[in-house]
Chain A
Amino acid sequence: MEKLLDMTALICQGAVVTLEIFVITLLLSLPIGGLAALGRLSKFKPLSLLMEFYVWIMRGTPLMLQLLFVYFALPMVGIRLPDIAAALLAFVLNYAAYFAEIFRAGLQAIPRGQFEAAHVLGLPHWHTMKRIVFPQVLRIVLPPISNETINLIKDTSLIYILAMNDLLRVARTIVQREFDMTPFVIAGIFYLVMTAVLTWAFKKLEAYYGKYDA
């Protein structure tokens, strides 16, 4: 029993690292993704093409490769980042690209009539975006954002290749040392609890922002 508590305490420390990566990645990649979506839809062609290229690279290569690239390849050209910053850079760039595609689809789903109604009422462009368009986009994008967010919590386990002691790596270390599979079960429970909390939170958000549906 005491052994079990010790294991759980260690895994808890790993969970803190996992949550740290998760929260910071989410906080940074959501706004960056939003801006990238606006850039992608911009009438300024070079910006739009650049964003398309960015999304193509990030979605077209494995996240694992991107992590390794930031961690091992960048130092070769003199860019040396602390471990956690390197991991965050890769995660944020990758997830912002996925979020950008979700936001783009959401923005494009708003009927033209909404913009026209705002125009004939004399609402300025930015006000139209802020008060008319974004609240409706939010409702559309919440389900896919929820999906990606749950993926992210599991994807954080990829940092084990960067020798950072996240939830999964701590569990694996104990398994190898003690030759006991229990830590894997505990880690699994940790992931399940985290995704359950996220699922619940997104359900609440969806209900709140969907309250105007018939």
Chain B
Amino acid sequence: MANTMLELTNIHKSFGDNQVLRGIDLVVDKGEVLAVLGPSGSGKSTMLRCINHLETIDKGDIHIKGQALVEGGVYVNEKRQREVLAATGMVFQQFNLFPHMTVLENLIEAPIYVKGVARDEAIKTAENLLAKVGLSEVRDRYPARLSGGQQQRVAIARALAMKPDILLFDEPTSALDPELTGEVLKTMRELAAEHMTMVVVTHEMAFAREAASRVIFMAGGVIVEENEPKAFFNNPKEERTKAFLRNML
């Protein structure tokens, strides 16, 4: 149990009459890189957004590092939610950097105001993270002056600045021009190599195949198939998985 980072139990979620998640069970262990594949509308982004309460589930349990966020569809109080969710970080499809703040200010805002880190220390951490994603030179620029790929790498650094134990990626390369996806995937591969626990909703088959430790395939609001990448891509068992892979590859 000590190794379990994230546990979803029988998650149900509807938007009005539309049942988007119909009983999701999922366990993610420390150091795992889980790629979540599936056609659009399969519920994969919704599942990811339920993990950090960007969406509210109707039924089920979510535990993060063994601590309850929601049990039997009932959420813990707001203060407790913040404590539990502090273990998570997220990277969005649309980057969602704060446009009125420089890159550095984007990175130090939450560490200073949420964690109470001293400003000097926050700046030092931010500079190290920018060096890590290869963007030291854009430290004092505003996000609008950066390319999409640079913005997304800054967004990854911003998430890392909070020292999360598990990082959620919601189609991190889908809004990028094809020639810019490489630099973002490279950063993500480096994180995977460092054994960062990651849940990655993606359409990048190459990333899932090479960088993921496990792949799940979702369709119609359920997990249809799950396996380690090699077996998943070479010997898919379910008919829906086969059809999906035929279309993607």
Contact = CB atoms under 8 A, between A and B. Distances in A.
Interface residues of B, number: 28
Given A122-B162, A212-B142, A114 B96 contact: yes
B114 A136 contact: no
Contacts of B142: 211-214
B89 interface: yes
B109 interface: yes
Contacts, number: 63
Nearest to A119: B54
Interface string B35-69: 00000000000000000111000000000000000
A114 B100 CA distance: 11
Given A122-B110, A122-B162, A123-B114, A116 B96 contact: yes
Contacts of B144: 212-214
A122 B82 contact: yes
B96 A113 contact: yes
Contacts of A120: 52, 54, 85, 88-90, 159
A117 B85 contact: no
A132 B113 CA distance: 12
B182 interface: no
Contact of B109 (A111, A114, A123, A214): A123
Interface string A188-214: 000000000000000000000001111
Contacts of A213: 142, 144
Nearest to B90: A120
B97 to A, nearest CB: 7
A43 interface: no
A121 interface: yes
Contacts of B94: 111, 113
A131 interface: yes
B98 interface: yes
A75 B230 CA distance: 85
B165 to A, nearest CB: 13
B92 interface: yes
B54 A212 contact: no
A121 B92 contact: no
Interface string B82-121: 1001101110101011111100000001100110000000
A152 to B, nearest CB: 27
B214 interface: no
Give chain A's interface secondary structure class. helix
Contacts of A154: none
A122 B92 CA distance: 15
A211 B144 CA distance: 11
A114 B94 CA distance: 10
Nearest to A211: B142
Contacts of B159: 120-121
A139 B85 CA distance: 32
B190 to A, nearest CB: 21
Interface in A115-163: 116-117, 119-124, 127, 131-132, 135-136, 139
A127 B115 CA distance: 13
Contacts of A113: 92, 94, 96
B6 to A, nearest CB: 15
Contacts of B109: 121, 123, 131
Contacts of B100: 135-136, 139, 212
Contacts of B92: 113, 116-117
A72 B120 CA distance: 62
A136 B100 CA distance: 7
B110 A123 contact: yes
Interface of A: 111, 113-114, 116-117, 119-124, 127, 131-132, 135-136, 139, 211-214
Given A117-B97, A124-B114, 17 more contacts: A113-B96, A116-B92, A117-B92, A119-B52, A119-B54, A120-B159, A121-B114, A121-B162, A122-B110, A127-B113, A136-B99, A136-B100, A212-B100, A212-B142, A212-B144, A214-B142, A214-B145
Q: Which 6 A-B pairs have the closest CB atoms?
A: A214-B144, A117-B96, A121-B110, A113-B96, A212-B142, A120-B90
17 contacts: A111-B94, A113-B96, A116-B92, A117-B96, A117-B97, A120-B52, A121-B109, A122-B85, A123-B113, A124-B82, A124-B114, A131-B109, A132-B98, A212-B100, A212-B143, A213-B144, A214-B142
